[in-house]
Amino acid sequence: ELRLVDGGGRCAGRVEVKHNGEWGSVCVYDFDWEARWATVVCRQLGCGPAVRWSTYTPFGRGTGRIWLQPFFCRGFEAGLQDCPHFGWGKHFCGHEQDVGVTCAEAMEMRLVAGTGPCAGRVEVKLRGQWGTVADPDWTKEEAEVVCQQLGCGSATGAYAAAASRFGRGNGPVSLVLINCRGNEANLWDCEVRGWGPYSGIHDFDTAVVCQGFARLVGGDGGCAGRLELRRGRTWTAACEDDVDIKAAQVVCRELGCGVALALTGTAPVETGTGPFWEGGFECSGTELLLSACARRPPHSQGCTSYATITCSPYASFRLANNTSSCAGRVEVEVGDTWGSVCATGWDLPDAHVLCRHLGCGPAVAVPPGGSFGGGDGPLWRDAFGCSGSEWHPGQCPVVVLGEATCPPGHAAAVNCSVSREGLGVAGIRTVTPSRCPRCPAGSRQVRLAAGPSRCVGRVEVYVNGSWGTVCQDTWDMPDAAVVCQQLGCGVALEAPNSPRFGPGTGPLWLDAGGCAGTEASLWQCPALARHSCRRGGGAGAICSEQLSLRLAGGRCKGHLEVFYNDTWGRVCADGTSPATASAVCRHLGCGDTGRLAAAPSREPALAWLAWVGCEEGTRSFWRCPSAPW
């Protein structure tokens, strides 16, 4: 028999063998630098490869017998006793050379004090204890190894002083001074100059921010869109056939986007496009990262449609404080907390979407705020911007930025047209993820995609059961004006072509492009009898009432300004949180991190906002609370 002792677990410690019913230690010559005996020990115990070993009592001296002194192991022996040795109980070394080994299964790594599993202070479990990793020269190469090992994609930030960003560590220091090439499979495969645990200061604790293994592109706020996965240092698209709703739930959780509302496909995929992720995922739905799910071969050869996921922070909706199941105070569950929706931004299109979602038909009225009481939970000031055609309130764009604190008791109320008495728990509908949106094949919708939010982007139409792009041959400002009007986004500022937001995917809609600009919807414009499209899809629109964001002075550096009521205005540094800088940089495509500084303006400038309170990991700038406009 073989065991490892005093190492905090079965896969690390002093090597001991049992002979004639008695346990004893193992010693070896110190010139056996290759230490293939360590490989044999770890494999014999089923603990993976050997990570660290020493002939100088790394886990303390043994007592009693020394049973074995192996030498010149080849590394493939089935057991340690199969290596050459001098015989049981015969040795030429003492307890001062009792050997110890740490196998891979004894090592763990995590990121702590961040907003999720892919950002934070680096900690390694050594001898059964979690400890920090200290290195004053921590670089992007070391951070890349950490991120890839954790299944978090590539590194976007490497920090040699974690305290300023993720707080000060405590307890032991596990590893010190790491030197990686950047392509190692594990951090401990790099050159490690100091193996702890050590007691000491935490001034040089390291931290990383990873890009993530999964992302959603082409939607609003990074919580809806086409699923792309990180392979090495390249983003690859996932095929619809290789992702199921459980995997979608994991993606939404990993991105901090709440729950999965729907998993759809965008068809068709053009020939020659790619690259694509190879293989599918078998998830239980409870994993923290998609990379932690089991892998399986792809269902089919080739990719017919991209996987598209819609997430929402809102897990459930209900109407409360009324005898009717289809009328009452609007309540929503965020995380594990139920609260009421503020009535200030709640209107009839929002009510229509909620009533239909609850199976109560369209809304007939929006009573004054507080008509059904104020509720006992928090009063969410999230302002829904539904057009009325969405099939779930979580699909609607939501803005918190600039919204005033909701007056006490001013909770939104709804009267729906249909009563559902006797159907169990009144008015509660939990999100049940669907394979496709509950949108009849014959219905028609319009949206703007691939922009920073819902009022700017590539025009896409939903016709005959699928989303497609609009031919840009004759697309101009009157057409864009109709789209902006239809979406409740004000007037059109621009009608850009495909270079701005990309050509898109899916079927090409040829009928658009003949609007006068006064129509209420795109469907009222004269249909063009066009049989081909010379310039392809990708017609776009930029609308005036879109909350836009920019840095005055440079693309990724400058005074922060927002566009509101047709005017650009500054954001004051007063009370604005440091995490706001990261949210802005993420929104503008300037990386995942940023630094906030108070920079006086040389000339007087209009200021729209102050006290913007984005939290770490916020994915949409518009969902950050602030002082009112």
pLDDT in tens, 303-313: 777 888 888 88
For residues 250 and 306, membership in a common domain is answered with yes
pLDDT over 90 (residue 225): no
pLDDT at 589: 67
pLDDT at 273: 56
Residue 568's CATH number = 3.10.250.10
Summarised one tens digit per residue, pLDDT across range 409-433 is: 999 999 998 875 534 333 444 444 4
For residues 478 and 527, membership in a common domain is answered with yes
Contact yes or no for 419/430 (Cβ under 8 A): no
% of residues, the chain, pLDDT over 90: 22
pLDDT at 268: 53
What value does the mean pLDDT take over residues 436-450?
57
Summarised one tens digit per residue, pLDDT across range 14-41 is: 999 999 999 999 988 877 777 889 999 9
Binning pLDDT at 50, 70 and 90, where does residue 206 land? very high
pLDDT over 50 (residue 243): yes
pLDDT at 17: 92
Of 398, 430, 462, the position where a domain reaches its end is: 430
For residues 249 and 344, membership in a common domain is answered with no
Position 500 in a domain = yes
Q: Which residue has the higher pLDDT, 227 or 590?
A: 227
Instruction: Find the helix or strand (DSSP H, E) in which 499 lies.
Output: helix 498-501
For residues 320 and 373, membership in a common domain is answered with yes
What value does the mean pLDDT take over residues 287-297?
86
For 201, 282, 475, 526, 540, the CA distances from 512, given in Å and listed in that order, are 66, 42, 7, 8, 12
For residues 56 and 131, membership in a common domain is answered with no
Position 440 in a domain = no
pLDDT over 90 (residue 121): yes
Position 204 in a domain = yes
What are the φ and ψ backbone dihedral angles of 509, each rounded to 5 degrees? -90, 120
Of 152, 183, 210, the position where a domain reaches its end is: 210
For residues 176 and 258, membership in a common domain is answered with no
For residues 336 and 423, membership in a common domain is answered with yes
**Counted domains in the chain:** 6
Summarised one tens digit per residue, pLDDT across range 89-119 is: 898 888 888 889 999 999 999 999 887 788 8
pTM confidence score: 0.63
What value does the mean pLDDT take over residues 63-92?
90
For residues 166 and 228, membership in a common domain is answered with no
Cα gap 338→355, rounded to integer Å? 18
pLDDT at 422: 39
For residues 218 and 198, membership in a common domain is answered with no
Binning pLDDT at 50, 70 and 90, where does residue 219 land? low
pLDDT at 465: 66
Residues paired with residue 85 on neighbouring β-strands, in sequence order: 70
Position 437 in a domain = no
Summarised one tens digit per residue, pLDDT across range 373-413 is: 988 889 988 888 787 777 788 878 788 888 888 888 999 99
For residues 266 and 325, membership in a common domain is answered with no
Q: Which residue has the higher pLDDT, 200 or 180?
A: 180
Position 439 in a domain = no
| Domain enclosing residue 526, as ranges | 445-543
What value does the mean pLDDT take over residues 188-211?
90
Of 210, 234, 261, the position where a domain reaches its end is: 210
Cα gap 23→432, rounded to integer Å? 58
For residues 218 and 291, membership in a common domain is answered with yes
Position 192 in a domain = yes
pLDDT at 530: 63
pLDDT, averaged across the chain: 83
125 sits in the region (left: phi over 0; alpha: psi -120 to 50; else beta) called beta
pLDDT at 435: 39
Q: How far is CA 274 from the centre of its chain?
A: 22
Position 435 in a domain = no
For residues 318 and 305, membership in a common domain is answered with no
pLDDT at 46: 92
Summarised one tens digit per residue, pLDDT across range 129-173 is: 899 999 999 999 999 999 989 988 888 889 998 888 888 888 999
Position 114 in a domain = yes
What value does the mean pLDDT take over residues 219-230?
78
For the residues of 55-124, what is the DSSP string, one character each? SS-TT----S-EEE-B-S--S--SSGGGS-BS-TT--S--GGGB-EEEEGGG-EEEEEEEEETTEEEEEE
What value does the mean pLDDT take over residues 164-184?
91
pLDDT at 547: 57
